[in-house]
Copies of this chain bind each other. A is one copy, B any other.
Amino acid sequence: MEYAPYGWRAKIGLIYIASAYAMEVEFNQMAPEGVTTHTSRVALCERPEQFTISDLSTLQEDVLEATKLLAQAPLNTIAFGCTSGSFVNGVKYDKEFINQMETIANMPCTTTANSVVEALKSLNIKKVAIATPYEKDVNDLAYQYFTDCDLQITNMTGLGIMNDYEISNLDIHSIYQMAIDVNTDDAEAVFISCTGLSAANLIKVLEEDLQKPVITSNQATFWHTLRLSNVKANLKNFGQLFDR
């Protein structure tokens, strides 16, 4: 039984895509003692069965409104959880957007793409192989985002899916295989993109089989919110990143 005040060490705010469901589940699975997650949602588009780059690039207004809503709770940090949503508007836009969130919330904020770059930096990674569920147009923008952050991409694959439900449905076998397949010998890490994927529980096995760090969108975002909240917990089951 848990009798301590909930979130006594840190309370994390999460703004997530309405049609998806993996991210808050994984935040709860990864939570160290004394840390809780609190979620609000924004709609990616009218028909999540077929989202577009345009949908991804126009989420910001709703996210800022959600930031204001979440900031009513006594939180430590707020994250916007949508990897491709950051890719499509580029690094510079993303940094400014985080500033806007912080102004509204009066606490540290981050986005998933920003968290991933911070994660790779903290591990001193220069070369990374990237697997995504997206189609090529989104991957090209992801490529640009990482390149602008001085990262070298040794390989990049996409499953060509632009249906948010289908992404959520990808099973553990498919995600495992997509990470094994994208890996190259010269990659210093593998990054599995998309906050809709149920990939966090695979990290430990993938790091054993690939013998290098594995980063996922949800893991990196959660790690970044913890560190922004001054929580240094070293989680055992979710990859080398939490040693940092």
The interface of chain A, by Cβ under 8 A from chain B, is 1-9, 11, 18-22, 24-25, 28-29, 33-34, 36-43, 48, 66, 69-70, 72-74, 165, 168-169, 171-173, 176, 180, 198, 201-202, 204-205, 208-209, 211, 230-234, 237
The 3 closest A-B pairs by CB, nearest first: A3-B4, A8-B173, A19-B72
- 26 A-B contact pairs sorted by A residue (CB < 8 Å): A1-B33, A1-B201, A1-B205, A2-B201, A3-B5, A3-B8, A3-B172, A4-B172, A5-B171, A8-B172, A8-B173, A9-B205, A9-B209, A18-B73, A41-B69, A42-B69, A43-B69, A43-B72, A48-B72, A74-B165, A171-B171, A180-B230, A208-B232, A208-B233, A208-B234, A209-B233
| A85 to B37 alpha-carbon distance, docked (Å) | 24
Copy total for this chain: 8
Query: Given A6-B25, A43-B72, A74-B21, are A1 and B204 also a contact pair (CB < 8 Å)?
Result: yes
Quick check: B19 and A6 within 8 Å, CB to CB? Answer: no
A99 to chain B, nearest CB (A): 22
Query: Given A3-B8, A172-B4, are A20 and B204 also a contact pair (CB < 8 Å)?
Result: no
Which residues of chain B are within 8 angstroms of A233 by Cβ–Cβ distance? 208-209
A206 to chain B, nearest CB (A): 9
- Extra pairs beyond A3-B5, A211-B232 (9, CB < 8 Å): A1-B204, A6-B25, A7-B21, A20-B73, A21-B73, A34-B176, A42-B69, A74-B165, A74-B168
